[in-house]
Amino acid sequence: MRTLGKISGVSLLMLAGWQFSVAQVNPANNNANAPVNQQPQVTQTPANNAQNPNQPTNNTNVMGPDNHIIDGAYKPEHNPYRRVVPPATMREADVMWSTRIWRTIDVREKINLNLYYPIQNNQNRASLFQLLKDALLGGEITAYSFNPVDFDDTYKIRLTKTEINAQLNRIDSVPNEDGVVVAVPSPVDPGAVKGYTLKEDWYFEKQRSVLDPRILFVCPLTANVNKNTGKEDENSAPLSLFWIYFPDIRPMMAKTPVFNAQNDAERRTYDDIFWKRQFSSYIIQQSNVYDRSMQAYVKGLDALLEGEKIHGKIAGIEHDMWQF
Q: Answer yes or no: is 162 within a domain.
A: yes
Of residues 131 and 224, more confidently modeled: 131
Domain that holds residue 226: 94-318
Q: Answer yes or no: is 1 within a domain.
A: no
Where residue 59 falls among pLDDT bands split at 50, 70, 90? low
Q: How many domains does the chain have?
A: 1
CB 99 within 8 A of CB 287: yes
pLDDT exceeds cutoff 70 at 262 = yes
Closest CA to 151 of 195, 88, 101, 97: 101
Q: Answer yes or no: is 293 within a domain.
A: yes
The predicted pLDDT at position 30 comes to 46
CB 246 within 8 A of CB 216: yes
The predicted pLDDT at position 179 comes to 73
Average pLDDT over residues 126-150: 92
Q: Answer yes or no: is 274 within a domain.
A: yes
* Euclidean distance between CA atoms 189 and 186, whole angstroms: 9
CB 185 within 8 A of CB 168: no
Mean pLDDT over the full length of the chain: 80
pLDDT exceeds cutoff 50 at 173 = yes
- pLDDT tens digit string along 7-24? 444 454 454 454 544 444
Q: Answer yes or no: is 258 within a domain.
A: yes
CB 125 within 8 A of CB 257: yes
Q: Which of 13-22, 212-221, 309-318 is modeled with the greatest confidence?
A: 212-221
Question: CB 241: neighbour CB atoms within 10 A?
Answer: 24
Q: Answer yes or no: is 10 within a domain.
A: no
C-alpha triplet 236, 239, 241: angle, nearest 5°: 175
pTM for the structure as a whole: 0.74
CB 220 within 8 A of CB 246: no
Q: Answer yes or no: is 47 within a domain.
A: no
Q: What is the largest CA-CA distance in the chain?
A: 123
CB 180 within 8 A of CB 158: no
